[in-house]
A and B are shown apart, each in its own frame.
Chain A
Amino acid sequence: MSKRIVIDPVTRIEGHLRIDVEVDGGHVTQAWASGTMWRGIETILLGRDPREAWAFTQRFCGVCTTVHAIASVRAVEDALGLEIPLNATYIRNLILIAHALHDHIVHFYHLCALDWVDVVSALKADPAKTSSLAESLSPWERNSRNDLKAVQDRLKGFVESGQLGIFANGYWGHPAMKLPPEVNLLAVSHYLQALEYQQKANQVVAILGSKTPNIQNLAVGGVANAINLDNDSTLNMDKLYMVKSLFDDVIQFVQQVYLPDTCAVAAFYPEWLKYGSGVMNYLAVPDLPIDSKGTAFDLPGGIIMDGALANVRPVKDHHDVTITREITENVSHAWYKGSGTKHPWEGETNPDFTDYDAAGKYSWVKAPRLGGKPMQVGPLAQILAGYAQGHALTKKWADLALSTTSSIAKMQITPAMLHSTLGRDAARAIRAAMLSDLAVEHWQRLVDNIGKGDNETFVKPTFPKGEIRGVGFHEAPRGALSHWVVIDNGKITNYQAVVPTTWNASPRDEKGTPGPYEASLAGNPVADAELPLEMLRTIHSFDPCLACAVHTLDPEGREISRIKVL
C-alpha cells in the first residue's frame, strides 16, 4: 500500500520548498518538488539603468547575494563587449572564492551535518579515544582530549537543561544514524569550530566588498576599490595581508577538518554512495577567469550526459554556443501562463496561479533544460567535469578524498560512486579544497599585478543606441547561474535569472521528465514515514536555496512547518 509524505515548511509567509513523495515498501517511488513562492523579482528591473541592476539582483536572496551581483555585472558587460581591468578580475575572484568557502563550510556543518551526526550520542564518547581517532585522520591542532572534553561537558550542560533547541530537528536515535559516539563527538566539536572559520571567510568578503552582506564594491566595468598602497582608506598592503591571513586560517580548516570529516561521514555511510543519483546529466560553467578577456579559467566547465564521463564535453568559456543558445525554460508544470518553452532572452514571467496539481501545474519554479534535457548543477557537476577532463587541481583533491574514504571504509570507493547523495556532499568538500588552493594563487596574482604598477580597477561603460543582449555566467556555490539581459537604448527591456536551484528543483517538463530533486529521491529508503530523515539527506545534498526571499520571524511559535503523512 503506497503512502504519500509531504514536507511543507510554512516558515515564511510565502513558503519555500515543498517536497511530495510516494512511498511503497519502504522506498520512494515518485517525487514532486515545488517552489511555493513566486519569484517575480526580474520584473522590478524592467526599464531600469543596467548599471544599477546588480544592486537589486543581490537582494534576490540574502544568502546568495554576491553571486547574483557578479552574474548581473557580467551580463551587462557581455552585452557591451566590455573588458574589465585585471585587478578587477582578481578582486572579484577573491570575493567569489571567499564567499564560496564560507558557503560550503556553512552547508556541511550547519545545514547538512545534523542529518548524519547524532548529537546526543556524542555524550557517550570517550574524549581520549576520540582524540586519537582524530589524530589518525588529520594533523588539526584543535582535536586534543581537553578540547573534546570541554565540548562534551558543554553539550552535557545543554542536554541536561533541556536547551537543545538548536538541535531540535535533529533525528537522534533514528535507525538511520550510524556514526560511533566518538565520530559524533568529533563532528559536534567541528560544528562549533566551523562557526569561527565561516566568519573569517566572511570577513574577506567584507574587506574586499566594503560590506557584507550585500557587497558595495561592484560596478559594471570593474570594481570600485581604489588601489593605493600608501593610502589607509584604499586597498593597500595592510588590507591585502589581512585578507591573506584570514584565508590562511580558512584554508587550514578546509584541508584539515572539512575534507577529512566529509570522508569520514562517507566512509561510515557507504550505502549513501548508492542512493540519490537521479539526473546524471551535468552542467558546469568555467569560472575564476585569469585574463581580462575571459579566455582562460582556473575552475573547469563541462557537460556530461547520462553519467558518461568518457564523453565529457568541455565548456571552454562563457561564449560557448551550447550554453548561450541551448538553455531554455519550460512552464508546462509551473504556475505561469501557457505551457511553452523559451530561451531566457525571450523569457516571460506572467504568473498564473492555479491549485497544486501534481498531474498539472505544481510549482513556481520553471523547468530549465539544456538541449531539451534536465541537468544537474552544483559542485558535483564541476568535479565530475574536471575529473573527466583530467584537470590537475580537481584530480589532486578528488583522488585524495577517494583514497581517504576508501582507507577509513576499508573498501574501494570509485569516482562512479560520486553519482549519489553523499557524492554531492563529498564533491562540495573537494571543491572547497580546490578553492583553498586557488585563494592563495589568486591573491598572489593580484599582488603581483599591483606590484607591476597597475592600479586600474574600472573602465567606464558606454551604452549604444538600439538593442543589445548579454548573458552573465557564474559557477556559484550551488552550481551554474546565468543572468540574461536585454537592453534597449540603455534601458533594461528583459531580465531573466536561471539560478542553480531552478535547475535542480525543476518540476517536470512538457515531456513529463522529472527534474534532479525529483529523480534523485526515487529509490531512497524511508524507514519511518513520520521522520523522513533519508529524504532530507538527499534534498540537503543539493544545498537547496529557493528563498529569493521573504524573511518574517515567528517568535510566537505557532505552526511553522509540517510533515504530513497521507
Chain B
Amino acid sequence: MRISVLGMGNVLMGDDGAGPYALATFAAQYAVPKEVTILDIGTPGLDLVPHIAGVDTVILLDTVRSDAAPGAIRAYDKNTLLRAKLPPRLSPHDPAVGQCLAMLEIAGCGPREVLLIGVVPETTSFGPGLTPAVQGAIPAVVGHIVTALRARGVAVERRPCPEVPDLWWEVPVAAGLSDLGETVPDDRLLTRAAQ
C-alpha cells in the first residue's frame, strides 16, 4: 500500500505556506514507516502528476478558499475535488489538483483515495510566516494527519524527543559571513542533499 502525505503551497507567501508548515511540524513530531512518502511539494501545477499517480492514498495539505474564518480546517475527498470547477488554462499553474486528478482518472492510474486537509488562510501576501490564526490551526492539522494515517493502518509513532521542524524559510537573515576571505565550507547544504 502506497501512501503519500504532500504539503502544498508557497512558503514565501504568508499563510499559503500552511501545507509545508504543517508537514514539517508533523515530520518533526512523528515517525512513519518508510513506505509512507512525506514531501513538501511547493506549488507544482501539473508537476503534481508524478507524485500522485498510482498511489493508494494521497493526503494533501493545502490552503483552501472558503467562507469560513481564517484558521478553520476543511476536509475534501477525491470526488469533491473532481467536481470542482476548473479554471481556464492560462499558465502551467492553472491545471491544479482537480485537473491532475481528472487526467489520471482518464488515463486509468489515478490515486485510489484522496484526502485534502485544507486550512483557510487569512493573508497570502508576500513574505514568509503564518498569521496567528493559521499558526493556531497547525496542531489540529497535525492531529488530523495522525488520525487519517492510523485509520488506514499506518503505524505512526510519536517521537520520544520531538525534533525541531525544518522551517528553513523562516530562518532570519543572518548577520553575514563571519569568515570573509577564507574558504567557506557549505556544510549545511551538503548535509541536506545527503539526506
- Contact surface of A with B, Cβ cutoff 8 Å: 7, 9, 11-14, 16-17, 38, 40-41, 44, 46-49, 51-52, 55-56, 59, 61-63, 65, 102-103, 106-107, 110-111, 114, 154-155, 158, 163, 165-166, 168-169, 192, 195, 198-199, 202-203, 210-214, 216-221, 224-226, 233, 458, 460-465, 489-491, 536, 539-540, 543-547, 549-558, 560-561, 563
- Proximity string of chain B (59-70) to chain A, C-beta cutoff 8 Å, 1 when within and 0 when not: 000111111000
List B residues 23-68 near A (Cβ within 8 Å).
Answer: 39-47, 49-50, 53, 62-67
- Given A63-B92, A552-B63, A555-B81, residue A202 in contact with residue B47 (CB < 8 A): yes
- Given A51-B184, A62-B47, A550-B43, residue A111 in contact with residue B89 (CB < 8 A): yes
Q: Does B152 contact A (CB under 8 A)?
A: no
A554 touches B180 (CB 8 A): no
A560 touches B93 (CB 8 A): no
B64 touches A17 (CB 8 A): no
| Max chain A Cβ within 10 angstroms of own Cβ: one of B85, B104, B174 | B85
A195 touches B121 (CB 8 A): no
A552 touches B62 (CB 8 A): yes
B91 touches A544 (CB 8 A): yes
Cα–Cα, bound, A9→B105 (Å): 25
B47 touches A166 (CB 8 A): no
Cross-interface CB contact of A219 among B92, B94, B97, B190, cutoff 8 Å = B190
A165 touches B94 (CB 8 A): no
A195 touches B182 (CB 8 A): no
Q: Hey, which chain B residues are within 8 Å of A210, CB to CB?
A: 193
List B residues 171-195 near A (Cβ within 8 Å).
Answer: 173-174, 176-177, 180-186, 188-190, 192-195
Cα–Cα, bound, A391→B166 (Å): 47
- Given A154-B108, A165-B102, A199-B49, residue A553 in contact with residue B116 (CB < 8 A): yes
List B residues 1-15 near A (Cβ within 8 Å).
Answer: 8-13
Cα–Cα, bound, A449→B192 (Å): 26
- Given A114-B89, A543-B92, A545-B92, residue A61 in contact with residue B193 (CB < 8 A): no
Q: Hey, which chain B residues are within 8 Å of A195, CB to CB?
A: 49, 53, 103-104, 107, 109
A553 touches B44 (CB 8 A): no
Cross-interface CB contact of B186 among A11, A220, A490, A539, cutoff 8 Å = A220
Q: Hey, which chain B residues are within 8 Å of A545, CB to CB?
A: 91-93
Chain B, Cβ-Cβ closest to A221: B186
B107 touches A192 (CB 8 A): yes
Cross-interface CB contact of B106 among A17, A56, A166, cutoff 8 Å = A166
Q: Does B161 contact A (CB under 8 A)?
A: no
Cα–Cα, bound, A521→B147 (Å): 52
Cross-interface CB contact of B62 among A102, A460, A490, A553, cutoff 8 Å = A553
Cross-interface CB contact of A550 among B16, B105, B127, cutoff 8 Å = B16
Q: Hey, which chain B residues are within 8 Å of A462, CB to CB?
A: 181-184
- Closest Cβ–Cβ distance, residue B91 to chain A (whole Å): 5
Cα–Cα, bound, A17→B124 (Å): 17
- Closest Cβ–Cβ distance, residue A377 to chain B (whole Å): 16
Instruction: List, sorted by A's number, 25 A–B pairs whose CB atoms are closer than 8 Å.
Output: A9-B87, A11-B96, A13-B124, A38-B126, A44-B127, A47-B176, A63-B44, A65-B42, A102-B47, A106-B46, A111-B89, A114-B89, A155-B106, A163-B105, A165-B99, A195-B103, A226-B194, A489-B176, A490-B180, A491-B176, A540-B90, A544-B91, A549-B13, A554-B65, A555-B64
Closest 10 CB pairs of A and B: A62-B43, A166-B102, A490-B177, A224-B193, A551-B43, A62-B42, A11-B87, A47-B173, A199-B50, A547-B93
Cα–Cα, bound, A539→B116 (Å): 32
Cross-interface CB contact of B194 among A107, A163, A224, cutoff 8 Å = A224
- Given A62-B10, A192-B106, A213-B44, residue A558 in contact with residue B65 (CB < 8 A): yes
Cα–Cα, bound, A155→B105 (Å): 11
B106 touches A44 (CB 8 A): no
- Given A169-B86, A199-B53, A557-B84, residue A549 in contact with residue B64 (CB < 8 A): no
B92 touches A41 (CB 8 A): no
Cα–Cα, bound, A89→B104 (Å): 35
- Closest Cβ–Cβ distance, residue B78 to chain A (whole Å): 11
Cα–Cα, bound, A17→B64 (Å): 21
Chain B, Cβ-Cβ closest to A119: B106
Cα–Cα, bound, A214→B169 (Å): 13
A55 touches B185 (CB 8 A): no
- Closest Cβ–Cβ distance, residue A13 to chain B (whole Å): 5
Cross-interface CB contact of A52 among B108, B183, B189, cutoff 8 Å = B189
A11 touches B42 (CB 8 A): no
B189 touches A224 (CB 8 A): yes
